[in-house]
Amino acid sequence: MTTPMTLNSKSKGASARWGQEAISLLVIVFFVMPLVWMLLAAFKPQTEVFLGKLLPSRWEWGNLKLAWESAPFGRYLLNSLLISLITTAAVVTTSALAAYAFARMTFPLKGLLFALALGTLMIPGDVLLIPNFMTVRQFGWLNSYQALIVPFAASAFGVFLLRQAFLQTPVELEEAARLDGATPAQYLRMILLPVNTPVLSALSILTFLSSWNALVWPLVVTNRDEFRTVQVGLASFSSLEGSNLPLVMAATVIVVTPMLLFYIFAQKWFIESAAASGLKG
Amino acid sequence: MTDFTQVSTQISVTKPRKSHSQLTALLGATPYLLPALLIFVVFTYYPLLRVIYLSFTDADMLSQAQWVGLSNYREMLANAEFWSSFKITVIFALAVTLTEVILGMALAFLMNAPTRLRTLLRGAVFAPVVVSLAATAVVWNYLLSPNAGPINGLLKSVGLPESGWLTDPKTALASVIMVAVWKGVGLPAVLYLAGLQGISRELEEAASIDGAGRFTVARHITIPLLAPTTLVVFFISLMGTFQSYGLVLLLTRGGPAGSTNLLGYYIYQNAFSFFQMGMASALSVALFLLLLSLGFLQLKLAERRVHYQ
């Protein structure tokens, strides 16, 4: 009596498992296929992008070189890298400093100032596009790196995230450091930040990603190649060269590859950091 | 009377010292607070006041702005294009959000199951989040080409009718919604996955020992326990989609026939195509008020609902 039942439930479990594997495969195809199509189209002759065949009849490796030479993509990539790295460093620094004050210092108006910092989470950046554009124009910052970095150099989410982490770090560490003669700044830099590396790395990757992928603001405040980011460069390249699809796809491959490679090698880091962004809500 | 003077002398003695030490404390914290707060003031609070001010003017970037009172708002509320844009934005935001909540949760269940493809699955679902909006737009613009584009080719090969996708007013908004979900659902999925991993196995196991099937456990135990995550995912997605218009800016420019004219894009166009900064500011303030009320709704719900576990 028991044997057939266990057998039955076992085979049911096995078929459910195979069902899950099959659905997983379908889901993977749905999410990855657009990128595969992009990659293959980048190496097709122009006459073949609309033929419906998945693989090119002959591989046009030259498309990549041609795209690279048709617009200053090297410069765009360098701009994006520079802007994203500096923005990330700035956000981590300003957040750590403010978070330390809010977590560990007592001073008047603390509650009000903390509310001022967190209140920015309620004010969406897109609503501020126009006045910020005017401010940056008045500063004479149109077409400059400052315009792409300074407005994003502080983050309420960063302050909040790091404050939580600092509050959870044992106070004894700070007392010991003070007894050893460390100033608050030294304690912050040499102890508090190193012990909170996981949170710092989550904040860094999220900031880097959003800076690297930013579109509307860089589009509005730059119109010269010297300061264009890779996203704006791609958008304008695609509207200029729209008819030459393999070339546009090759440019897209150039633009997405650095970030995707970074992602493939650090997938766990990305995903865990993204999970931390749920604290925003 | 004597008591009073005594007290007052006491205060006058201690008060300066106390406020002095308070001032020292504030000055001591200033170097830590200043960088972040300065940026918040210059690039968030000041522009908020400025956009409100601009919304009462006829600013156009060319001539001196004149105060026009409520006329931008009056014009906005009388404009059919605004209302159509508002409607499109609500449809877009709700459609993307609800799809992301449901699909995100379903994907998280799958990503949490002990399948062989698990790592690859997690990587694939989250990959579009890493791909930029610009690249997403360029790729999907090609995939959804109405004439023999890859997706139409695929549909044709399995005997389904082709579609005009982004070029047809009837399907353009749905196409943008689909692309937005492809690009965005990875984040909710990862948030749900973290939520699932935080639920104790014992509860689910106890229920299944009591004879509950897999779907019963999911429906009566796991999904209710995920309520806090659902609340977060719902509002992150809703607030995000209410203001995001990057896809529309690159894919459809609000068209065809205004069918994808999201509020954010409508603002962008008023500001940077027509230089109607006053009107665009009034629209921005309207969007802000909308998002602010959603924010308060979230806070109220969070207070009331999420007290499981």
B171-184 pLDDT, tens per residue? 999 999 999 999 99
List of chain B residues whose C-beta atoms are within 8 Å of the C-beta of residue A27 = 107, 110, 121, 124-125
Q: Rounded to 5 degrees, what are φ and ψ at B248?
A: -65, -40
**Which amino acid appears at position B204 of this protein?**
E
Place of tokens 């309520």: B227
Q: How far apart are CA B288 and CA A128, in angstroms?
A: 9
Q: How large a percentage of chain A has pLDDT more than 70? A: 94
Rg (chain A; Cα; Å): 25
Counting runs of H as helices and runs of E as strands, what totals does chain A give?
A: 15, 0
For range B50-66, the mean pLDDT: 91
Which residue does chain B place closest to A242, by CA atoms? B138
Q: Do the beta carbons of residue A261 and residue A51 sit within 8 Å?
A: no
List of chain B residues whose C-beta atoms are within 8 Å of the C-beta of residue A267 = 119, 122-123, 126
Question: Is residue B230, in this structure, part of any structural domain at all?
Answer: yes
Q: Mind telling me how many Å the CA of A228 is from chain B's nearest CA? A: 13
Distance between the two ends of chain B, CA-based, in angstroms?
Answer: 59
Of B140, B191, B284, nearest to A127 by CB-CB distance is B284
Which residue does chain B place closest to A266, by CA atoms? B123
Model pLDDT, residue B154: 87
List of chain A residues whose C-beta atoms are within 8 Å of the C-beta of residue B143 = 34, 37
Residue B57 bridge partners (DSSP): B67
Stronger pLDDT, A101 or A278, i.e. the higher one: A101
Question: Is residue B34, in this structure, part of any structural domain at all?
Answer: no
CATH (domain of B186): 1.10.3720.10
User: What's the 3-state SS for A207-236?
Assistant: HHHHHHHCCHHHHHHCCCHHHCCHHHHHHH
Q: Mind telling me how many Å the CA of B131 is from chain A's nearest CA? A: 6
Question: Is residue B233, in this structure, part of any structural domain at all?
Answer: yes
Which residue, B59, B80, B62, is CA-closest to B71? B59
Of A116, A212, A252, nearest to B139 by CB-CB distance is A252
Stronger pLDDT, A91 or B155, i.e. the higher one: A91
Of B31, B138, B149, nearest to A50 by CB-CB distance is B149
Of B121, B232, B264, nearest to A126 by CB-CB distance is B264
- Find which of B49, B110, B138, B191 to mutate to test the A interface (most A CBs within 10 Å of its CB): B138
Q: Which two tokens stand for residue B2?
A: 């004597």
Segments making up each domain of chain A, as ranges: 2-62, 64-280
Model pLDDT, residue A163: 95
Which residue does chain B place closest to A254, by CA atoms? B135
Of B232, B243, B277, nearest to A124 by CB-CB distance is B243
Question: Is residue B108, in this structure, part of any structural domain at all?
Answer: yes
List of chain A residues whose C-beta atoms are within 8 Å of the C-beta of residue B157 = 52
List of chain B residues whose C-beta atoms are within 8 Å of the C-beta of residue A24 = 110, 115, 117-118, 120-121
Q: Which two tokens stand for residue B76?
A: 């906005």
For range B32-37, the mean pLDDT: 96
Stronger pLDDT, A87 or B308, i.e. the higher one: A87
At residue A221, does pLDDT exceed 80? yes
Interchain proximity A135–B43, CB inside 8 Å:
yes
Interchain proximity A24–B48, CB inside 8 Å:
no
**C-alpha distances out from residue B231 to A110, A275, B45, B129, B192, Å:** 29, 15, 27, 21, 11
Render pLDDT for A32-46 as a digit per residue (tens, 0 to 9). Answer: 999 999 999 999 888
Of B31, B43, B122, nearest to A271 by CB-CB distance is B122
At residue B75, does pLDDT exceed 90? yes
Distance between the two ends of chain A, CA-based, in angstroms?
Answer: 53
Question: Is residue B4, in this structure, part of any structural domain at all?
Answer: no
Stronger pLDDT, B139 or B303, i.e. the higher one: B139
Which residue, B122, B125, B71, B115, is CA-closest to B276? B71
At residue A5, does pLDDT exceed 70? no
Question: Is residue B14, in this structure, part of any structural domain at all?
Answer: no
List of chain A residues whose C-beta atoms are within 8 Å of the C-beta of residue B229 = 278
ipTM of the complex: 0.89
Question: Is residue B35, in this structure, part of any structural domain at all?
Answer: no
Render pLDDT for A148-204 as a digit per residue (tens, 0 to 9). Answer: 999 999 999 999 999 999 999 988 888 888 888 888 888 999 889 999 999 999 999
Cis peptide bond N-terminal to B188, omega within 30: no
At residue A222, does pLDDT exceed 80? yes
Question: Is residue B85, in this structure, part of any structural domain at all?
Answer: yes
Q: Do the beta carbons of residue A218 and residue A232 sit within 8 Å?
A: yes
Q: Mind telling me how many Å the CA of B286 is from chain A's nearest CA? A: 9
Of B40, B128, B272, nearest to A220 by CB-CB distance is B272
Q: Mind telling me how many Å the CA of B250 is from chain A's nearest CA? A: 7
Q: How far apart are CA A137 and CA A21, in angstroms?
A: 55
Domain count, chain B: 1
A to B CB pairs, distance under 8 Å: 275
Specify the range with the lowest mean pLDDT, choosing from A80-84, A234-238, B8-12, B173-177.
B8-12
Instruction: Name, in order, each residue with C-beta under 8 angstroms of A43's C-beta and a sequence gap of 6 or more.
Output: A56, A59, A60, A61, A63, A64, A246, A250
By CB neighbour count within 10 A (0-12 exposed, 13-18 middle, 19+ buried), where does A24 fall?
A: buried
Q: Do the beta carbons of residue B232 and residue B249 sit within 8 Å?
A: no
Interchain proximity B43–A151, CB inside 8 Å:
yes
List of chain A residues whose C-beta atoms are within 8 Å of the C-beta of residue B182 = 30-31, 34
Whole domain around residue B144: which residue ranges? 71-305
**Which amino acid appears at position A205 of this protein?**
I
Domain A64-280: top CATH class: mainly alpha
